[in-house]
Amino acid sequence: MPSNGDQIDTRIEIVTPENIAFEYRVAGPFRRLPAYLIDLGLRVVLFWLGLMVFMLITGLLGVPGVGLGAGLVWAFLLLWFYGGLFETFWNGQTPGKRMMQIRVVTVDGRPINGLQAILRNILRTVDAIGFYQVGFVSALLTERFQRLGDLACGTMVVIEEPQWLREVLRLGDPEVTDLAARLPYRFQPSLSLGRALAAYVDRRATFAWGRRLEIARYLGEPLREKLNLTAETNLDLLLCALYQRTFVAEREGETPGQSPFAAQGLEK
C-alpha cells in the first residue's frame, strides 16, 4: 500500500504479490465506538442473567456462595474473552460490530485467526488507560486507525460494503459455466495464478460491479490475450470461469468441495 501521505479519505488499497488490488474502507474511532458500547451493554446483560441463573440454581441447592463464585468466573470470562471468541468464530465480528457493519481483518486483508482475536482484545486494557485516551490517540496517529492492540496483532477494522452490493453472480451461473467450457482444456494455471484466482473469487463479493471490473482488468486482460478470447469477454466472468475450471470442475481424482488452495497445494 502506498504511504505517500496523499490519503484523503478512509479507503486503503492492498496489493497482493500477484498484483491484484483490493480496496477497503477502514473504520475510524467514531464508527467503532457505538459497536463497543453495544457489546459493553450486551456483556452487562449477559453478566446479570448468568449471575441470576447461578444464584437461583445454587440457592435451591443450599450453596449460594458457590453461585456467587460462579458469577465472578462468568464476569472474568466476559471481560477477557467475549470479544476474542466472537471475533474468532464470527469471522472478525462481535454482535456490536455486526450491527455497525464493521469487521476485524489482518493488515493484508485476510481473516484474523484465534490468537490475533484473543490478543487484540486482551490488549484493550492498555488502550483503555485514561478513559481510552491511549487507544484514541493511537487510532488518530495511524493511517488505518489502529489502536495499540491492532498494531501489536497486525489487524485493522474495516467497514463492510452494504448488503445490496453483495448480491453477485454465483459461480454456477450459466454464463460462467459456458465460458469455462470454451477455455482451452490444456490450460493449467501456475501456483501464483491459482492463488490470485482464489483470492479474487473469495473477495469479489465485497466489491461493487465497477470496482470488481477494475480489479479484474489487471489479471484478466493478459489472460484474455493469452487465451485468444474476444475483446468483448467479460473479465470478471473470465476469472470466475478460470477458477471454476481450475478448482470446481469435477475431474478424475478430484474431491468436490475441496478447498481451492488445497486443490493445487496452495495452502500454507
The per-residue DSSP string of 17-85 comes to: TTS-EEEEEE--HHHHHHHHHHHHHHHHHHHHHHHHHHHHHHHHTT-HHHHHHHHHHHHHHHHHHHHHH
pLDDT score of 170 = 47
How many CA atoms lie less than 13 Å away from 95 in the CB half-sphere?
Answer: 9
User: pLDDT tens string for the chain (268 positions)?
Assistant: 444 444 434 777 766 554 555 677 899 888 899 999 999 999 999 999 999 999 999 999 988 889 999 999 999 999 999 999 999 999 899 999 999 999 999 988 778 999 999 999 999 999 999 888 999 999 889 989 999 999 999 999 998 865 333 333 345 667 888 888 888 877 777 767 777 887 788 777 777 777 777 888 888 888 888 888 888 888 888 888 888 877 765 443 444 344 444 444 444 4
At residue 249, φ and ψ (nearest 5 deg) are -55, 135
Picking from 87, 119, 89, the residue whose alpha carbon sits closest to that of residue 103 is: 87
Residue 167 one-letter amino acid: E
Residue listed under C-alpha cell 495511524: 142
Q: How far apart are CA 183 and CA 245, in angstroms?
A: 8
pLDDT score of 55 = 93
pLDDT score of 15 = 63
Say which DSSP state 245 is in: I
pLDDT score of 169 = 36
Picking from 248, 160, 235, 260, the residue whose alpha carbon sits closest to that of residue 205 is: 160
pLDDT score of 264 = 41
pLDDT score of 21 = 56
